[in-house]
Amino acid sequence: MPLTPAHLASGTVRTRLAAVALEAAAGVDGVVGGDAGPNRLHVTGSGSGGSGGPLAGVRAVAEPGGGFAVDLGLRAGLVPLEALAHRVRLAVHGAAGAAGLGTELGPISVTFHDVVDPDQELAEAFAAALDTTGGAPAP
Amino acid sequence: MILARLLVRVVTFLLLLLLALLGLAVALAAIEPGTGADAAGLPGLRDQVGAWFDGLEGGEGIAVPSLIGGAAAALLGLLLLIGLLVPRRERLVVLRRTDHGSLGARRRALAGVARSLAEQTRGVSAAKVKVKPRRRGGGRLRVNAARPRPTDEKAVERSIADQLESLTGPFRLKASVRTRAGERGERVQ
């Protein structure tokens, strides 16, 4: 389920924090997108108060001392993973603060589920274009 | 574990199929008494099972096929329980863990990065990487690379290890590198 404005605007603090964190992480250069993982552990349901469906690529769990731990599941490009995780954390901190959720943000864990080779990505895009155009690549 | 899960799926499907057929037999028997049960061969089955139980009660020696069948059934039950109850473990390599959170990667992601780095090494035509996570964090990378025949095996292995340093150095990852002389026609970087 892609991130929609409804995710950011409604729901509980937990779901809003998850949505803000995922949006911030997805905007970092080097991150290809969110990934729920093979066991779909990195998913946040919208809950009864939320709307827009479950978010794939993030999980927010209440911490014993208050606040929420955010666990991101991401697909990345071929870049140094530690530096990328650092940039993701900075982006999530910034976005949570800007959304007024900075005090709710606990530890941020980053898990890379897949690394996408740009050549492979290009080949997949080309194959998708062939599918949609019925054999001839889109101009 | 994979076998147990596969077995659970197959047995679940077969049991559901059997249940559906039994339901059909019962429905037929309800519509026309005798027909459904006869069609399913239930009277014959009852006689067979009855004879087997009579034999057991009569103190006959336990036949070897029955013993093997019982043991196999117990083993199957155990496998089914394992497949159903043991949770699936996500094989993650935990690269770093601090109070501020953790950094982890799936084996496939790490293998992809390591393969890409290894294949950038001069003299390497292809590389395969296997990642084995450790329980207490970190893991082991096993790199198997192809090189052209005239190249020095040890020099290429050292170059690959150096190339992987940017991945293994910051984390508790150990790389073991092996090279093999490539086949004719394999391209070299």
Of B103, B105, B113, the CB nearest to A78: B113
pLDDT of residue A93 exceeding 70:
yes
Cβ-based neighbours of A67, under 8 Å, separated by 6 or more: A103, A104, A105, A106
CB A72 within 8 A of CB A21: yes
Of A37, A82, A108, the CB nearest to B170: A82
Taking the C-alpha atoms of residue A114 and residue B59, their distance in angstroms, rounded to an integer, is 63
pLDDT in tens, A21-79: 999 999 999 999 899 888 788 888 865 444 567 889 999 999 988 889 999 999 998 88
- Residue in A closest to B114 by C-alpha: A78
Is position A88 within any domain? Answer: yes
Is position A138 within any domain? Answer: no
Please, what are the averages of pLDDT over each run of 10 residues along chain B (189 residues)? 78 87 77 65 78 73 74 85 74 85 88 87 85 85 84 83 84 86 58
Q: Which of the four pLDDT bands, split at 50, 70 and 90, describes residue A128?
A: low
Is position A139 within any domain? Answer: no
The pLDDT value given to residue A41 = 85
- Residue in A closest to B96 by C-alpha: A82
Of A38, A80, A85, the CB nearest to B90: A38
Residues of B in contact with A78 (CB under 8 A): 112-113, 116
CB contact under 8 A, B90 and A39: yes
Range of the domain at A90: 5-133
pLDDT of residue A110 exceeding 90:
yes
Taking the C-alpha atoms of residue B105 and residue B93, their distance in angstroms, rounded to an integer, is 5
The pLDDT value given to residue B89 = 66
* Pair of tokens at residue B140: 């082991």
Phi-psi sector, A94: left (phi>0), alpha (psi -120 to 50), beta = alpha
In eight-state DSSP terms, residue A103 is G
Domains and CATH numbers, chain B: 2-85 (no CATH), 92-181 (3.30.360.10)
The pLDDT value given to residue A49 = 43
Of A69, A108, A115, the CB nearest to B112: A115
The pLDDT value given to residue A69 = 93
The pLDDT value given to residue A25 = 94
Is position A73 within any domain? Answer: yes
- The total number of structural domains in chain A stands at 1
CATH number, domain with residue A65: 3.30.70.1350
* Pair of tokens at residue B169: 């150095």
User: Across the A/B interface, how many CB contacts are shorter than 8 Å?
Assistant: 70
- Residue in A closest to B94 by C-alpha: A111
The pLDDT value given to residue B108 = 87
Residues of B in contact with A85 (CB under 8 A): 103
Sign of CA dihedral B26, B31, B35, B39: negative
Residues of A in contact with B102 (CB under 8 A): 107, 109-111
Q: Mean pLDDT over residues A111-133, rounded?
A: 71
